[in-house]
Amino acid sequence: MKLVITEKPSVAMSIAGVIGAGQKQDGYYQGNNYLVSWCVGHLVEPVNADAYDERYKKWEYNDLPIIPERWRYEVTRDKQKQFKVLKGLMNRPDVDTLICATDAGREGELIFRLVYHKAGCQKPFERLWISSMEDSAIKDGFDSLKPGAEYDNLYASALCRSQADWLVGINATRLFSVLYGASLSVGRVQSPTLAMLTERGAQIRDFKKEKYYHVHINPGGADATGEKIKVKTEAEAIQAACDQQQAVLRSLTTEQKTVNPPKLYDLTTLQRDANRIYGYTAQQTLDLVQALYEKKLLTYPRTDSRFLTSDMLQTIPVIVNQAALLVGFIRGNVGIPIDYIGQVINDSKVSDHHAIIPTLTISDYDASTLPETERNILHLVATRLVCAIKEKHVFEAVTAVFEFSGHSFTAKGKTITTEGWKAVDLLFRNSLKLKAEKEDEEKTLPDGGRLPELTEGQTFDGVDAAITEHTTTPPMPYTEDTILSAMERAGSEDMDEDAERQGLGTPATRAGVIEKLVHRGFVERRKKQLIPTEKGINLIRALPENLTSPKLTAEWENALTEIAKGGYAAPEFMAGIAELTRTLVQENTAAREDLKPLFEHKKQAIGICPRCGESVFEGKKNFYCSNRDCSFSMWKNDRFFTDKKKTLTPELAARLLKDGKAPVKGLHSAKTGKKYDAVVVLADTGDKYVNFKLEFSQKKED
């Protein structure tokens, strides 16, 4: 009997259907000499610091750094039941072999191995490594299972990533929280990302607008522009000298330029486009692509490759045509050539997984039944595939330089000779009513980009000269599109061009980092923009450069990739992380005096105590009077509210303190199970506990 372990129940169901394990049991499937069960994500995780020593329950500087001599792991509390199922199956006498079928990547390997070791299993296991959930891909995967030992280095890399994050996160968070007397969250990837956001915020905040001017002439109908001028009087002097004078065309150059088709999507570029076009967050896009993967409509999402492999050469034309049919607007408008398929093939640029493309399953799937969000992502990926195998976009760039009263003016235009892939892109954008993106080298002219017929040496008499006024603009705030790009490139300027991996985090983890920053209040979303909060800005001010440096974190990420390839020793990497942690504690023994005021907790009163007139503040469990001699307190878990399935929120508490009563909708009746509306009255009698009662504008029907 073979035991197959997946990451999610939905994947287990798909695999079970393919290999004939169709009998549903409690926590697994069975049949055809197979058992198929699942992990429900991370079943086993590192224990908290206080599990190593009771004294770590309190955060004290003298207890740092916390560096476990032997790492310990525990089963996640809410997943105990499924772990027991897995452990029981692993230890069944009739199970002789395991098959690791968790997601084919670093984190998937970690999830399986931690469960395997926690269960005390020593049975041999094999590895299923697939890039698609199609039935054919699953069958092929089971026909070519790999020995589990071939992925030991990948597991070592994943374990190092997990332990490094724990060491830096636990120690740095405790260290700076203790020093500044505030809850400060620090992370290996999170902190450098926040630093980039705060740096951009500072650039915008400190930016000072400046005016500048251009002098324009229009010889023969061409809009020719002079150099950027900062002083208006200088621009006016040039205009006066040129207006109604003779202009001479000194040079006319024509250069053929090409714009290559876009590469296929990896996860990061897909997340960027989905944010820019649809406004989806990086996490939303990851969730949508994962859902489409599990529906067998897209290939494996957590990839950093933008190419396909040569063994796919025969199936790509079929998938391309199916993709064109899927999006609809392509068929009948542009041809689908197969002569350029080689430009998406590059075996050397594919490591664990190839680029994200549609699967052959799309031909039999009614995409109209998908949620709009999933359908948008599917169409985006399908369109990109068709664009990627089209011809280059070719145009002639024309540059005309005019001399006018001793000054030079330049006009640019272009003539498209081959639409190529941009014909598909334009159809896609028109279907979404999006404006075409401007190329850096093109200048949009009223006649569509073409310059009038010109001849070198040609003269123009009585040419008008005019001035246009402009204002410099600050850098744009980061969006998820641009911060993902920045994370991908972070630190690369300081690293070897041949470094296997550069940047902050991986395609699979960047979305989670952004979500943590928002959830913890360091960053807020304003439409598409990511704006650092005062809390986030203050945190970065307090942290040393080595914790906010993209370079250091990028070096770690590259080292983790080298460990996965077998080119770097895991113990050496972890020794470096441990030494950095010790140094961090030794070099930061006290808070900076100039930063202390930034972290002073300033509580805001929610109202006035009805008993003594002092301020009432919110605590973790109650709303309490600041006068220690006063016993007034409204408890958040007061049965008056919990029985009615309502929460005593700060807003409701403030209204009760201000007006003595507050209308509340949707109160639950324990007697009838129905909901009703009423007015809650603060009926305080001065006793130990505060009382509440209900008032009705009309008789409540039970």
Residue numbers annotated as active site: 300
How far lies 287's CA from each of 169, 189, 204, 484, in Å? 26, 21, 32, 16
Report, in angstroms and rounded to the nearest whole number, the Rg of the chain calculated over CA atoms.
Answer: 32
Query: What burial letters (b/e) apply to 318-352, b meaning 16+ CB within 10 Å?
Result: ebbbbbbebbeebeeebebeeeebebbbbeeebeb
Q: How far apart are CA 327 and CA 384, in angstroms?
A: 11
Alpha helices (H) along 25-134: 80-90, 106-118
Residues 6+ apart with CB under 8 A from 368: 375
Show the tokens assigned to 590.
């006290």
Q: What are phi and psi of 204, to 5 degrees?
A: -70, -45
Report which residue type is found at 17: G
Strands 2-6 and 34-38, sheet pairing: parallel
The sheet carrying 607-608 orders its strands as: 607-608, 615-618, 622-625, 633-635
Q: How far apart are CA 186 and CA 176, in angstroms?
A: 8
Residues 6+ apart with CB under 8 A from 371: none
> Quick check: 128 and 109 in contact, CB under 8 A?
no
- Largest Cα separation within the chain, whole Å, is 99
For the chain, the residue count is 702
Cα dihedral 162, 165, 168, 174 in deg (nearest 10): -100
Show the tokens assigned to 197.
């956001």
Look at residue 642 and give its three-state secondary structure: helix
Q: Exposed (0-12), middle (13-18) or buried (19+): which is 360, by Cβ within 10 Å? A: middle
470, β-bridge pairs? 212
> Quick check: 662 and 677 in contact, CB under 8 A?
no
For 318, the enclosing helix (H) or strand (E) is helix 316-327
Q: How far apart are CA 430 and CA 189, in angstroms?
A: 38
Q: Would residue 252 be called left, alpha or beta, if left means φ above 0 and alpha means ψ between -120 and 50 degrees?
A: beta
Cis-peptide into 65, omega within 30 deg = yes
Q: How far apart are CA 45 and CA 165, in angstroms?
A: 12
CA atoms within 13 A on the CB side of 604: 4
